[in-house]
């Protein structure tokens, strides 16, 4: 069984709409993930997804705006692809027919725990911007 690390509460994720954290993965790389509410009765009330569009290295969660969600999906700010908050699957845009990688979380008594054996919690929030993504630039004209 994996070690458990308390990340935050379900209430915090629900109130803020999303919540980000950074881990060290099995390759000793730093990676960011974010939690979003899931309204599917067959799944836990929050899910954890990698903070990167499957189409290209574009952050889905940003410190200044969090994650843009609409109609049960997380919207990529660059091309508008929308990933289901509960399954991570995308069925539109440039990322169509892909699914966001996840990390295992568990919810108990309203608290969210990281329980994935392949990652180690580092800290709340995102890593410093290292220039690997496009920052706030966008080729789309989406407005939210």
Per-domain residue ranges for the chain? 5-124
Question: Distance (Å, rounded) from C-alpha 73 to C-alpha 17?
Answer: 11
Residue 118: Cβ within 10 Å count: 11
Torsion of CA 13, 16, 17, 19, to 10 degrees: -50
* C-alpha angle 36-81-49 in degrees, rounded to nearest 5: 30
Q: Give per-residue pLDDT as tens, 49-58.
A: 999 999 988 9
Q: Give per-residue pLDDT as tens, 7-38.
A: 999 999 999 999 999 999 999 999 999 999 99
> Tokens 């379900």 correspond to what residue?
10
Could you say which architecture CATH assigns to the domain 5-124?
A: 3-layer Sandwich (2.102)
Query: In the structure encoding, which two tokens stand for residue 4, read together?
Result: 């458990």
At 129, the pLDDT band (50, 70, 90 cuts) reads low
Query: In the structure encoding, which two tokens stand for residue 42, read together?
Result: 């067959």
Q: Provide the whole-model pTM.
A: 0.86
Question: Distance (Å, rounded) from C-alpha 47 to C-alpha 36?
Answer: 6
- State yes or no: pLDDT of 141 exceeds 70: no
| Own/partner pairs, 106-111, CB within 8 angstroms, 24+ separation | 106/4, 106/44, 107/10, 107/44, 107/45, 107/46, 110/9, 110/10, 110/11, 111/6, 111/8, 111/9, 111/10
Q: Give per-residue pLDDT as tens, 76-119.
A: 999 999 999 999 999 999 999 999 999 999 999 999 999 999 99
Q: What is the pLDDT of residue 128?
A: 76
**Residue that wins the pLDDT comparison between 144 and 45:** 45
């Amino acid at each position: 069984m994996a070690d458990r690390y308390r990340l935050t509460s379900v209430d915090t994720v629900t109130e803020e709409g999303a919540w980000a954290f950074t881990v060290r993965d099995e390759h000793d790389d730093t990676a960011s993930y974010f939690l979003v509410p899931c309204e599917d009765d067959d799944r836990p009330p929050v899910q954890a997804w990698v903070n990167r569009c499957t189409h290209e290295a574009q952050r889905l969660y940003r410190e200044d705006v969090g994650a843009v969600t609409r109609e049960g999906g997380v919207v990529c700010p660059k091309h508008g692809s929308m990933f289901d908050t509960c399954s991570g699957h995308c069925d539109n845009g440039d990322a169509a027919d892909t699914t966001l990688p996840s990390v295992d979380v568990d919810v108990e008594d309203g608290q969210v725990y990281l329980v994935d054996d392949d990652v180690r919690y580092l800290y709340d929030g995102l890593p410093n911007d290292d220039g690997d993504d496009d920052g706030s630039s966008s080729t789309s004209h989406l407005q939210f």
